Structure 1
Amino acid sequence: MTGKKPPSSTRVLSWMPVAVMTVVAVVDVVAGPGVGFLPLVSLGPAFASMVGGWRRTAVIGAVALVLCVGLGISGELIASRRWYTAMASVAGVTGVGIAAAVMRSRREAEPASVRSIAEVAQRVLLRPVPLTAGPLQVAVSYTSAVAEARIGGDLYEVVASPHGVRVIVGDVQGKGLAAVETAAVVLGAFREAAHDEPDLVRLGERLERSVSRELEGERFVTAILAEVGSAHQVVFLNYGHPPPMLVRQEGTVDFPEPPSYALPLGLGAHGGGEGPRPFRVDFAPGEQLLLYTDGVTETRDETGRFYPLADRAYLLKDPDAHGALQALRTDLVRHAAGPHHDDAAMLLLRYHGHHDRNENGHGN
């Protein structure tokens, strides 16, 4: 991977100490020692501390002291009050600059360390999904947001349970370690309940209880649960999440919506509303189901136009599910006006042609 060049403003500042000391030295020599430019040599280490580390600041400070000695000799100022003042000024500014550079590097290292820890935790939580689950081929894509918001709470999981293939895609309110912690609560509860609960509604109720108990109303999660069984149908529970995109075999696109929308996970116990009602949609071999977070549909181009997901269904024609989803992700990134400001997760379920064999426990 090739390294990126630093911004032009940073390059200018990095050369500023040398340029300032050069100008001061030339002016001092040309104008003569009587003008009193010598203390301005301290500007060198002052500028160095703005962008460089403490070592570079110390080196520039040492160069400034040597320059003071040289200019003092040429101007016959050695041991004079003005020369001592200049030397003290350079030494003092260098010392303060070194301290400032050390404190700045520590401040910069702390958030970088926190982001790194959060990213590792997020990767552990969002473990790779299986390539196949029952009659489904599975592919996933996760596009991170810009640096200051890149640690998000988008989550996904696929579990091949005794009750069918169960899937969750969700989006946690907020960013940072708190969002990762919330995602851990949801995924932990889902992975356990997906195997234990024979009914999708009861699975959702367990998720609601877990989230409400752990978060105490401080955070919420929009989520959609899906269950693919053996009846060429998919059952959905929608907790305030964007509707899935269903691509039929002939290429038509549907966005199945629930009979009524429910509150996100974490708010149901406090809002007094009913939980989501399950609804069934036909889902047969040769068809595709895309579950996603709002970071996909809310991505804007330079004119402010949202990403037209329905118009991009043709990108999912690639015979390889991962290749198809990568094509969609590439188009999404191309559509965005600059870096993403929200995470964008997509999970593609492709109903392949080995349904009968998988029903009997054979095949992939």
Structure 2
Amino acid sequence: MDLRPPSAPRQRSERVRHAQLAVPVVLIAAVTVVDILAPPEVHLGPFLVAAPALTASFRGPRITAFVGLLAVIAQVVVSAVRTTLTDLNHTFQTIALIMISVFVTLFAYLREEHEKELVQLRSVAETAQQVVLRPLRERIGPLRVASVYLAAAAEARIGGDLYAAARTATSTRLIIGDVRGKGLDAVGEAALVLGAFRAAAHQEADLRRLVDYLEGAVAPDLYDSTAPDEDEGAGPRAGEDEGFTTAAVLDIPDDQPLLHLVSCGHPPPLLLLRDGRPVPLEVAQPSPPLGLAGLVDGPVAVQTFAFEEGDVLLLYTDGVLEARDRAGDFYPLTERVAAWTGLHPQAVLDRLCADLLAHVVGSTLGDDAAMVAIERLRRP
């Protein structure tokens, strides 16, 4: 958690901006003085072009035009001191400097407009992400919950990882999943899965029926309505066009120290026991990812695991496991979390996020990563 006051980043940013602006101004002053003092056969005026060109790379059109004006004034001063204002050499240098200043000012204007569009798009994407991926409450029934979403890039705040929780009369149900693909298509698939889960999680009495309902909500997308009908009656798309979602769906009863789990091709949750042992909850009969179950025969298998008071359950997407360091080694999740047993969920995620980002220092996350930590609270 960042404990700095909110104004600190802005103040530092302003100092950096002022320091950047000082560079072209100092350059103009230095070139002007040296050019005036240089021998008659030496002309440093062309170096003044660098000042507005440099400014256009980090400031807007107004500041760029102002620095260009300073450079032109400096060129006129040099002309007046060294020869005359009508000297042909200095006249052409001044005209060239004016033309280049106008050109880079236009470039700064276009860059600033493009940045405004990017900011607007990022704002829309972040809003869409918040609508699709609602934050989980800290307390849900007898559970204490924490969640976090790490984007693969700071600019990309939208992706296909998902999680949600819902209450029933006697239990808490959770889902965590990862949609194949990236971008708006993945967000659409994630919204479809989350909408189906929120609609049915508190209605379906059986976890198998809930997973069947989720599969039914996703499965129609496997049929391409735009495909030519020369293969009339053909089934779902195959190969690279298949869309699917890996997911883990859980039901945690309020009055029993256990949990029920259906794994649809998702990485196994980690149970952090009070005695310091992280236990992967490997299911004996995993189900296919959502969207592919129609291609495989067999019922959904529900497996039950112990979940005692004080234990912490860690749910995550494969972006955590696929994080690589500079040597190309994957993140050793089970080894790292072994040292964090006994912590509450938010502390576990804080440690995990910091350690994960330190593991990929000098690189970036290869995929978005979503994490949810759940603790069964001790009864009074």
TM-score range, shorter chain: 0.7 to 0.9
Match of 1:241 among 251, 254, 266: 266
Deviation at 1:145, TM superposition (A): 3.5
TM-score computed with the length of structure 2 as normaliser:
0.78
Distance 2:310 2:44 in 1: 81
Give matches, 1:61-210, under 5 Å: 61-162=68-169, 164-210=171-217
Distance 1:72 1:172 in 2: 66
User: Would you say the 8 A contact 1:138–1:321 is kept in 2?
Assistant: yes
Q: Deviations over 1:315-351 (max 9, x none)?
A: 1303x44334434444444444356513332222222
User: Would you say the 8 A contact 1:239–1:263 is kept in 2?
Assistant: yes
RMSD: 3.3
* 2:333 equivalent in structure 1: 309
Letter in 1 for 2:371: M
User: Would you say the 8 A contact 2:248–2:261 is kept in 1?
Assistant: yes
Deviation at 1:66, TM superposition (A): 1.3
Q: Deviations over 1:23-63 (max 9, x none)?
A: 2652355222x655545533432333233321121111111
Number of positions where the alignment pairs a residue of Structure 1 with one of Structure 2: 351
Distance 2:192 2:132 in 1: 10
1:299 aligns to what SS in structure 2? coil
* 1:299 equivalent in structure 2: 323
Q: Deviations over 1:8-27 (max 9, x none)?
A: 9x967962464266326523
Q: Which runs of 5+ in 2 are unaligned?
A: 224-240
Deviates more, 1:38-47 or 1:109-118: 38-47
Structure 1 residues 316, 6: CA separation in 2 closer, same or farther (over 3 Å shift)? farther
Distance 1:335 1:7 in 2: 31
Q: Deviations over 1:146-183 (max 9, x none)?
A: 32445333221111113632110112234444433332
Q: Deviations over 1:183-226 (max 9, x none)?
A: 22221111001022222222122222323335765643221101
* 1:358 equivalent in structure 2: none
Deviates more, 1:10-19 or 1:258-267: 10-19
Distance 1:81 1:186 in 2: 73
Matched, 1:289 2:310: no
* 1:45 equivalent in structure 2: 52
Distance 1:14 1:194 in 2: 60
Letter in 1 for 2:368: D
User: Would you say the 8 A contact 1:139–1:348 is kept in 2?
Assistant: yes
* 2:375 equivalent in structure 1: 350
User: Would you say the 8 A contact 1:163–1:195 is kept in 2?
Assistant: no
Letter in 2 for 1:279: Q
* 1:253 equivalent in structure 2: 278
* 2:23 equivalent in structure 1: 15
Structure 1 residues 277, 14: CA separation in 2 closer, same or farther (over 3 Å shift)? farther
Structure 1 residues 38, 333: CA separation in 2 closer, same or farther (over 3 Å shift)? closer
Letter in 1 for 2:146: A
* 1:228 equivalent in structure 2: 252
Distance 2:179 2:20 in 1: 41
* 1:277 equivalent in structure 2: 301
Distance 2:347 2:39 in 1: 70
* 2:287 equivalent in structure 1: 262
Structure 1 residues 76, 189: CA separation in 2 closer, same or farther (over 3 Å shift)? same
Structure 1 residues 275, 145: CA separation in 2 closer, same or farther (over 3 Å shift)? farther
TM-score computed with the length of structure 1 as normaliser:
0.81
Q: Which runs of 5+ in 1 are unaligned?
A: 355-362
Distance 1:251 1:103 in 2: 57
User: Would you say the 8 A contact 1:39–1:85 is kept in 2?
Assistant: no
